[in-house]
Amino acid sequence: MSDAPEASWHTEDTVRVLRLSGDWRGHRGTLPEPPPSNEDTAPVRVDASELRSWDAPLAAALWQQLEPGARQQTDVDLRSLPEGLQEILALALGSVPPASATNAAPPGRIAALGARVSAGIALRRKTLGFVGEVLLSVGRWMRGRSDMRASDLMWQIEQTGPRSLPIVALVCFLVGLIVAYMGASQLQRFGAQTYIADLVTIGVVREVAALLVGIVLSGRVGAAFAAQIGSMRANEEVDALTTMGVNPIDFLVLPRVLALLIVGPLLTAFGAVVGMLVGWLVAVGIFGVTPLEYVYASFEAMTLPHVLVGLFKGTVYSVLVALAGCLQGMSAGRSAQAVGDATTASVVQAIVWIVVAASMLTVVFQRLNI
């Protein structure tokens, strides 16, 4: 068998065959032009059964020879080529858009709907995969094999808990004022001012405080999580952690999730207390309810199931905020615009998740008579 590089075209039935043989290392020659065919898209097969060796110039020459046909969607058979050369050409030719792509008609409604459904399925698969990674990280932490540092957890608790108290107090005060005043004005029409305490206590403790805490945390904490982790991705710090053998989920995501898991019910309890106090101010200062009567009615209405339901909802909403912020941060692109988009998306996603969770939990607890 000769080692001289040779290339020739042959026609077998309707298939044009390019035969390669010999040693092509260091050869800088060009390949012969393919024979004319009655069809512009006649299939092409590369026969490299006698090819001894190859290098990059041969790959470039083959690409130049086959690329026009790939644009015309010609069927090209590369199975006879060596594995490495076959992968290179398949990748190069597969990335070439067809010649008719620029003149193609816009996709129809069915194609557009299919693309949206596929994108939605991919997004949900990505979300479920992220949640699974977080659960695995929690399992490693419980077994003492996590890369999370205790100092990071304490830092996140300090950032998300005590520093959120002023805004939580302000929002719960104002919304509690609205709930108490609007409810009391309606009850006054029936001479039932004594039930103001029941209305405010049950509404704030069971629903309003947890919902307000979740929304406040989505804007203050969830957006910060997305911006921080997104900036680290843009600066390739997340890649550096992976290179050093540190799991980024353990190191970045887990402290934030655990921090909101801890401070969520505490902030909910604090917001509920603020809402009840503003209800006391409205009932006593405006509608003439005696202070002791309001306090007694509040303790009568504040049963243990109401308290536990409110704390559970506050915990769930806080964890959803952490997951949304970290998910968008870990999925952010590597530019300032991408980080900004991830920050916005984290707030929107967290609020949507909170509303959906609130609806589902309310229906479930009502069905269970809790």
Mind listing the pLDDT tens digit for each residue in 227-254? 999 999 888 898 898 888 889 999 999 9
Q: What is the C-alpha separation between 321 and 226, in angstroms, rounded?
A: 10
91 and 155 inside one domain: no
Compute the average pLDDT of residues 278-300: 87
Q: What is the C-alpha separation between 121 and 332, in angstroms, rounded?
A: 19
Poorest-confidence range of 89-98, 224-233, 317-326?
89-98
90 and 29 inside one domain: yes
The residue out of 101, 118, 135 marking a domain boundary is 101
- Name the percent of the chain lying above pLDDT 90: 42
What are the tens digits of pLDDT across the range 158-183? 999 999 999 999 999 999 899 888 88
**More confident: 63 or 207:** 207
Which DSSP state fits 12? E
What are the tens digits of pLDDT across the range 104-130? 445 567 877 887 888 888 888 888 999
190 and 325 inside one domain: yes
On the question of pLDDT at 102 being above 60, the answer is no
On the question of pLDDT at 308 being above 90, the answer is yes
**More confident: 265 or 124:** 265
Nearest-10 crossing angle of helices 165-188, 209-217: 150
- Structural domain of 84: 6-101
Q: What is the mean pLDDT of the chain?
A: 85
Which residues have a Cβ under 8 Å from the Cβ of 271 and sit 6 or more positions away? Answer: 168, 169, 171, 172, 204, 209, 210, 212, 213
Compute the average pLDDT of residues 83-94: 76
Total count of residues recorded for the chain: 370
On the question of pLDDT at 101 being above 50, the answer is no
On the question of pLDDT at 260 being above 80, the answer is yes
Nearest-10 crossing angle of helices 196-203, 254-285: 170
Confidence band (pLDDT; 50, 70, 90) for 357?
very high
The predicted structure's pLDDT at residue 263 = 95
On the question of pLDDT at 99 being above 90, the answer is no
The predicted structure's pLDDT at residue 10 = 82
303 and 175 inside one domain: yes
Q: What is the C-alpha separation between 114 and 174, in angstroms, rounded?
A: 46
Confidence band (pLDDT; 50, 70, 90) for 87?
confident
Compute the average pLDDT of residues 75-100: 71
On the question of pLDDT at 288 being above 90, the answer is no
Say if 110 falls within a structural domain.
no
Whether residue 238 contacts residue 232, with contact meaning beta carbons closer than 8 Å, is answered with yes
The predicted structure's pLDDT at residue 97 = 47
Select from 220, 185, 255 the least CA-distant residue to 343.
220
How many domains does the chain divide into? Answer: 2
Confidence band (pLDDT; 50, 70, 90) for 192?
confident
The predicted structure's pLDDT at residue 314 = 94
283 and 162 inside one domain: yes
71 and 189 inside one domain: no
pTM of the full structure: 0.69
173 and 68 inside one domain: no
35 and 94 inside one domain: yes
272 and 335 inside one domain: yes
Q: What is the C-alpha separation between 2 and 5, in angstroms, rounded?
A: 8
Confidence band (pLDDT; 50, 70, 90) for 315?
very high
93 and 186 inside one domain: no
221 and 89 inside one domain: no
The predicted structure's pLDDT at residue 250 = 92
The residue out of 78, 101, 124 marking a domain boundary is 101
Look-up of token digits 């059964």: 49
Q: What is the C-alpha separation between 28 and 133, in angstroms, rounded?
A: 51
How crowded is residue 194: how many other Cβ atoms within 10 Å of its Cβ? 16
How crowded is residue 31: how many other Cβ atoms within 10 Å of its Cβ? 16
The predicted structure's pLDDT at residue 78 = 82
What are the tens digits of pLDDT across the range 23-55? 878 776 677 877 665 555 678 888 888 888 887
Report in angstroms the alpha-carbon separations of 266 from 195, 204, 259, 263, 309.
27, 15, 11, 5, 14
Say if 132 falls within a structural domain.
no
**More confident: 27 or 331:** 331
